[in-house]
Amino acid sequence: MKFTQQPDYSGVLLPSVPVDVAANAAPLVRGAGDPTAATGNGVTWLSFQPLTTGPVTVAIAHPASTVSPSEIRYHIWANADVAALETVIDRMPVLLGIDESALAGWAEFDELLDATAHLLPSSVITARREHPGMRLMSTGQLVDELCTVVLEQKVTQRQARASWRWLADTFGELSPAGEPAPKIAPRPETVMHIQSWQWHAGWVQPFLART
């Protein structure tokens, strides 16, 4: 990976299970134009602000294999904020869905799947077997997700994604990694102070803005 700014930290994880980073991160990316996240060319980019620290950007290199355990390299930018770096480093297994709790959950799921295979559609069994690298990623960014969920109510997908792009582009913060890395989503207090005419300019319906 090539960067315009050197990362504050680079690390490697050696998971005991396969991890399909690109597929697992897909639900976190609101379309190809999402200002806060992107995945492609062998890298997934995520920018966010942990609750108790400054903003961070994480670049995760996709592992060599999605069907067998492979090392996962990652890089973090945090404006040299030590607390932010430590927070994200500690949370990387959770972010990737490979922490002990998550792995225990998948083990239980697989046991249950084997025990009830005769009761389930063959497509369910096939999906699990063909995608052993599926994990449930967790950024811990509840407010960011709530914003996107609200904007997706009672509108088309195209409208929702356009509204999110407008919100993040207009009120978000530049990434610690600099451009063209994804931006940091707007802070809750920033969203709370957006005026009605500004929401209108962003084509956000009044009932969504009030929510």
Lowest mean pLDDT, pick from 22-36, 68-82, 147-161, 173-187: 147-161
The residue length of the chain stands at 211
How far apart (Å, rounded) are the C-alpha atoms in residues 204 and 196? 9
For residue 2, pLDDT over 70 is answered with: no
The pLDDT-based confidence of 180 (bands split at 50, 70, 90) is: confident
How far apart (Å, rounded) are the C-alpha atoms in residues 211 and 199? 12
For residue 72, pLDDT over 90 is answered with: yes
1's tokens: 């990976």
What are the backbone dihedrals phi and psi of residue 21, each rounded to the nearest 5 degrees, phi first?
Answer: -60, -45
- Nearest residue to 7 (alpha-carbon basis) of 94, 70, 88: 88
Give the predicted TM-score (pTM) of the model. 0.90
15 residue type, one letter:
P
How far apart (Å, rounded) are the C-alpha atoms in residues 7 and 97? 23
What would the mean pLDDT of 53-57 be, rounded to a whole number? 94
For residue 193, pLDDT over 70 is answered with: yes
pLDDT at 1: 61
31's tokens: 């379309």
For residue 49, pLDDT over 70 is answered with: yes
- Nearest residue to 130 (alpha-carbon basis) of 42, 62, 67: 67
The pLDDT-based confidence of 179 (bands split at 50, 70, 90) is: confident
How far apart (Å, rounded) are the C-alpha atoms in residues 103 and 52? 27
- Pair 72, 15: CB distance under 8 Å: yes
pLDDT at 130: 92
How far apart (Å, rounded) are the C-alpha atoms in residues 86 and 185? 21
Boundaries of domain holding 50: 1-211
Domain count, the chain: 1
Measured distance between the N- and C-terminal CA atoms of the chain, rounded to whole angstroms: 40
Beta strands in 23-179 (DSSP E): 37-40, 43-48, 56-61, 72-77
Residues whose CB falls within 8 Å of the CB of residue 157, separated by 6 or more in sequence, listed in order: none
**Mean pLDDT over all residues of the chain?**
92
40's tokens: 């492609």
pLDDT digits (tens, 9 = 90+) for 117-144: 999 898 988 988 899 999 999 998 888 8
